[in-house]
Amino acid sequence: MSLLNEIELLKQAALAELKAAPDLAALEQTKGAWIGPNGKFTALMKQLGTLPKEEKPAAGKLINAAKVELEAVLVSRREDLELKAALPKEPTDFTLPGRRRTLGKLHPLTQVTDDIVRAFRKIGFVVADGPEIEDDYHCFDSLNTPADHPARDSQDTFYVGQASSLFPNCESDPSTSTAGAGWKPALLRTHTSSVQIRVMKSQPPPIRIIAPGRVYRRDNADATHNPTFHQIEGLYVDKNVTVSDLKGTVEFVFKELMGSDVKLRFRPHYFSYTEPSMEIDFTSALVKKLGKDWLEIAGCGMVHPQVFANVGYDPEVWTGWAFGFGIERIAMLRYGINDIRLFYENDARFLRQF
Ligand code: DAH
C-alpha cells in the first residue's frame, strides 16, 4: 500500500477513535496514541524521509492537513466531554424548591447611627471623621482638660504607647503629661470630642459637623458598660450662636429619631470644653414603660472661648455649641434592649431581629 493510502486510512481510524472516546481520560490517551511524540501519526512523519523525492511534497501536505483535522476533532470532542463531566449525573428535578440565600443586614448600631446622620443632614450638617488612636493634645489639652483631670488617669484611659511614633507632628505638651516629662502618650480616644479639634484646626468657621465613631474607656463590661462603645459628636460654630439653637437642634433630631412624644430636659453640668455646660435628659412613653422618669442621654454646652483660642478661632467673633451622646444608649432605648453586651456578641439570633 502506498504511503498516501496509508495516511488516509490511519487518519480515518484516528478520527473514529477520538470521536468515540467515552471520557476525558480516554481522550487524552487516544491523543497520545496517535499524535503524541510516540504516536502512530507521528511515526508516519518519520517515514517521509524514505519516499522518493517527487512524492515527498504531496505526502507531507497530506500528513499536515490530516494533523490539523485531527487537532480540530480533538478540541471539539474535549469540549463535549468537559460539558458532559460538568453536568449532574442524576437527572435534575426542576420542581424541587430552590435554595434561598439569606441576606445580610446592617448592625442595629449602624442602623441607629445612619438614622441620626440622616436627621442631621436634613438641617445641613456633614459627617466628619478622626482617628481612634489619638494623642493627648487632641483628646484632652486642646479641650481645656487639665493634666489633673480624672479622665487622664490610666484607670479611665487606654494608653497605647508613644504618640510621636504614631503622629510625627503630634502637638502633645510633654509638661502636662501625667506619665512624666518627655513622654507624649498615644491613647485610644475616650470620646469623639477630639474630632472637634481636628476639624476646627483644618478649616475656618463656620462649621456644622457631626462625628460618629468608636470610643474606648477602661470599664468592666456589664449590662450598661463596655470598654468599647460609640458616640456621636456635634459641633456648630458661627456668629451669634445661642443655647436656643442647641436646644432646637437636639429636639428636632430626637423627635425625628424617637417620635414626636419625646421630651428633653437640659440640666446644668460641668465639662471643661463648654461654658455653660449641660446634660440632656430624655423621656418618652418608652422611658416611662421602663419605670423611669428621665434618662440621661448626652452632654453638651456652648464651646469654651479657650477651645476657640486653642484652634486659632477668635473667641470674640465666633460662638458655637457642641454635644456628645452615646449611640448604644439610644439604640437600647429604641429597641428595648437591656444589655449592652448583646451588641458586640455577633449572635445571629440577636442581630436577625433588627
Ligand atoms: N465628651 C463628653 C463625654 O464623653 C460628651 C460631651 C459633653 C461632648 C459636652 C461635648 C460636650 O461636645 O460639649 O462624656
In this predicted model, what pLDDT tens digit does every residue of 192-245 receive, in sequence order? 999 999 999 999 999 999 999 999 999 899 999 999 999 999 999 999 999 999
Ligand 1 atom closest to the Cα of residue 196 is: 12
What share of the chain has pLDDT > 70, as a percent?
Answer: 94
Q: Which residue has the higher pLDDT, 98 or 213?
A: 213
**pLDDT at residue number 311:** 97
By C-alpha distance, which of 157, 165, 162, 188 is closest to 174? 162
Please state which of the ranges 44-53, 74-83, 238-247 shows the lowest mean pLDDT: 44-53
Q: Residues 118-130: pLDDT tens digits?
A: 999 999 999 999 9
Cell of 34: 496517535
**300 in ligand 1 pocket by Cβ < 6 Å?**
yes
Average pLDDT of the residues in 296-325: 97
Which residue's CA lies nearest to atom 14 of ligand 1? 299
| Residue 277 confidence class, pLDDT cut points 50, 70, 90 | very high
Nearest CA to ligand 1 atom 10: 323
Distance 279 CA to ligand 1 centre (A): 9
What is the pLDDT confidence band of residue 174, given thresholds at 50, 70 and 90? very low
What are the backbone angles phi and psi of residue 297, rounded to the nearest 5°?
Answer: -130, -20
Q: What spacing in Å lies between the alpha carbon of 175 and ligand 1's midpoint?
A: 25
CA dihedral 107, 111, 113, 116 (to 10 degrees): -170
| 94 alpha carbon – ligand 1 mean position (Å) | 61
Q: How far apart are CA 353 and CA 333, in angstroms?
A: 15
Rounded-to-integer distance, Cα 188 and Cα 62, Å = 80
111: its cell numbers? 442602623
Of 112-116, 166-170, 324-328, which range is least confident?
A: 166-170
Task: Write the DSSP symbol of residue 254.
Answer: H
The residue whose CA is least distant from atom 4 of ligand 1 is 191
Residues 209, 323: contact at Cβ < 8 Å?
no
From 353, 298, 335, 288, select the one nearest 112 (Cα to Cα).
335
Q: Whose CA is nearest to atom 7 of ligand 1?
A: 299
% helix / strand / coil in the chain, to the nearest 5? 45, 20, 35
The atom number, within ligand 1, closest to the CA of 215 reads 4
- Whether 39 lines ligand 1, by a CB cut-off of 6 Å, is no
The mean-pLDDT minimum among 20-24, 35-39, 160-164, 245-249 falls in: 160-164
Per-residue model confidence (pLDDT) at position 170: 58
Q: How many other CB atoms sit within 10 Å of the CB of residue 184?
A: 22
Mutation choice for ligand 1 from 138, 193, 274, 297, CB with most ligand atoms inside 8 A: 193
pLDDT confidence tier of residue 57, bands split at 50, 70 and 90:
confident
- CA 94 vs CA 91, 97, 98: distances in Å: 9, 8, 9
In whole angstroms, how far apart are CA 296 and each of 49, 180, 281, 305?
101, 36, 4, 26
- Helical spans, DSSP H, in the chain: 3-20, 24-35, 40-47, 56-86, 108-122, 136-139, 163-166, 193-202, 243-258, 285-289, 305-311, 327-335, 348-351
3-state secondary structure (DSSP) of residue 79: helix
User: Looking at ligand 1, which residue's alpha carbon is closest to its atom 13?
Assistant: 300
Interatomic CA distance for residues 49 and 144, integer angstroms: 99
pLDDT at 189 over 90: yes
CA of 18 to the centre of ligand 1 (A): 80
